[in-house]
């Protein structure tokens, strides 16, 4: 009986040892564990451990350097085999693996070309999309490039749609969400692989990291990117929102410098989803034009069969106004550029 109990306890003990490597301040222990794997010839295990460690302890220069050297070595050693595979049998999975190796060796154009080849060969195979996503995700982490982050999200979403339970897709998506400081969303993504592979190093790293980040109060991914990029989180509160005097035909919202709702007209929709979408619109326009070197946007107009929306930048914020009658666009524009009765009431 003692032998059976000992055998049953062993997986749990191994999992606890793994968990200890991802505790706060355990960077040196994790690096030494990876070195021991490498010394024993278990390079893939070492790479998995280091990959998880660089996520858990990001930024971790020593770990990043060790991982980069190991991944480049693995890529160089496998390159000939991967090239032979695409020449002999050619499948989407082979092309995607070659893409990942080339990306680690710094051949970005070659990596992208083979990833797209994988998608063309089998559009329903997630590996090509995942290969592209990994390149963008690496750039997002390394260079803090928001555009790369959005591209990573785009390709990860497509890969997850093609194979809902794909472990690598889910791990990469959870990593991206944690970089955006969205632990609640990451936990939902991790749930199926946490049950299936609870001792997986990346799962342990992501779970440990998620406990240290305050829960997000939005499910809007664009809003998460804006918060990451600007360092500000808008707080919308009806109790502190002033009232803007406006004609009944117009709905008006004023957002302050943090993109929070500061004031609105009496008939304006104050539901969270709409307020958040306007906040995202204001932030996206501002960040995009600034990133392009075009300065701050002054005015934006959107027209549809359902009405007209005009946004006007002001000192310290943006004012959006809407009418569901397209024929009133000129009237709305004139009113918006007038003093609009600056006195507000609470």
CATH number for region 238-337: 3.30.450.30
213-227: per-residue pLDDT in tens?
999 988 888 899 988
Residue 46: which of 68, 26, 61 has the closest Cα?
A: 68
| 251-255/261-265 β-pairing | antiparallel
SS3 content of the chain, % helix, strand, coil (to 5): 65, 10, 25
Q: Do residues 78 and 104 make contact, with C-beta atoms less than 8 angstroms apart? A: no
Closest C-alpha among 77, 132, 124, 125 to residue 105: 77
Q: In the chain, which residues fall in CATH 3.30.450.30?
A: 238-337
Is there a contact between 85 and 116 (Cβ–Cβ < 8 Å)? no
Q: Are 250 and 332 in contact (CB under 8 A)?
A: yes
What is the per-residue burial (b if ≥16 Cβ within 10 Å, else e) of 188-208?
ebbeebbeeeeebbbbbbbbb
Give tens-digit pLDDT for 93-103: 999 999 999 99
Task: Please name every residue paired with 311 in a beta bridge, in sequence order, or none if there are none.
Answer: 300, 320
Residue 204 · residue 52 · CB < 8 Å:
yes
Distances (CA, A) of 148 to 143, 159, 219, 287: 9, 16, 20, 14
Rg (alpha carbons) of the chain, rounded to whole number = 25
Strand partners of residue 47: none
Query: Using CA atoms, how far apart are residues 221 and 283, in angstroms rounded to an integer?
Result: 13
All CATH 1.25.40.10 domain ranges of the chain, comma separated, are 2-223
Per-residue pLDDT tens digits for 206-263: 999 999 999 998 888 889 998 888 888 898 887 789 999 999 999 999 999 889 999 9
The dotted CATH code for 2-223 is 1.25.40.10
For residue range 153-162, list pLDDT tens digits in order. Answer: 999 999 999 9
């Amino acid at each position: 009986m003692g032998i059976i109990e000992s055998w049953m306890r062993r997986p749990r003990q191994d999992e606890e040892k793994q968990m200890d490597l991802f505790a706060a301040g355990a960077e040196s222990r994790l690096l030494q564990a990876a070195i021991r794997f490498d010394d024993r010839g278990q390079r893939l295990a070492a790479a998995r451990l280091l990959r998880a460690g660089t996520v858990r302890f990001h930024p971790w220069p020593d770990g990043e350097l060790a991982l980069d050297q190991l991944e480049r070595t693995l890529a160089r050693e496998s390159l000939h085999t991967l090239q032979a595979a695409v020449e002999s049998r050619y499948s989407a999975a082979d092309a995607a693996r070659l893409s990942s190796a080339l990306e680690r060796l710094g051949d970005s154009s070659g990596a992208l070309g083979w990833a797209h080849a994988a998608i063309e060969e089998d559009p329903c195979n997630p590996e090509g999309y995942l290969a592209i996503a990994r390149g963008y995700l690496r750039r997002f982490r390394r260079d803090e490039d928001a555009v790369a982050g959005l591209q990573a999200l785009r390709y990860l979403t497509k890969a997850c749609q093609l194979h809902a339970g794909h472990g690598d897709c889910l791990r990469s998506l959870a990593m991206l969400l944690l970089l955006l400081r969205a632990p609640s969303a990451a936990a939902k993504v991790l749930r199926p692989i946490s049950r299936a592979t609870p001792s997986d190093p990346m799962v342990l790293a992501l779970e440990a990291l998620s406990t240290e980040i305050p829960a997000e109060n939005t499910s809007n991914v664009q809003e998460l990117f804006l918060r990451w990029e600007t360092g500000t989180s808008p707080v919308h509160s009806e109790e502190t929102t002033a009232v803007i005097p406006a004609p009944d035909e117009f709905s008006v919202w004023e957002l302050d410098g943090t993109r929070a709702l500061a004031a609105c007209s009496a008939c304006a929709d104050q539901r969270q989803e709409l307020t958040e979408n306007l906040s995202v619109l204001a932030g996206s326009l501002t960040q995009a034009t600034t990133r392009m070197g075009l300065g701050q946007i002054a005015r934006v107009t959107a027209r549809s069969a359902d009405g007209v929306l005009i946004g006007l930048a002001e000192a310290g914020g943006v004012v959006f106004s809407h009418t569901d009658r397209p024929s009133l666009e000129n009237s709305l524009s004139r009113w918006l550029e007038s003093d609009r009765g600056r006195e507000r009431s609470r």
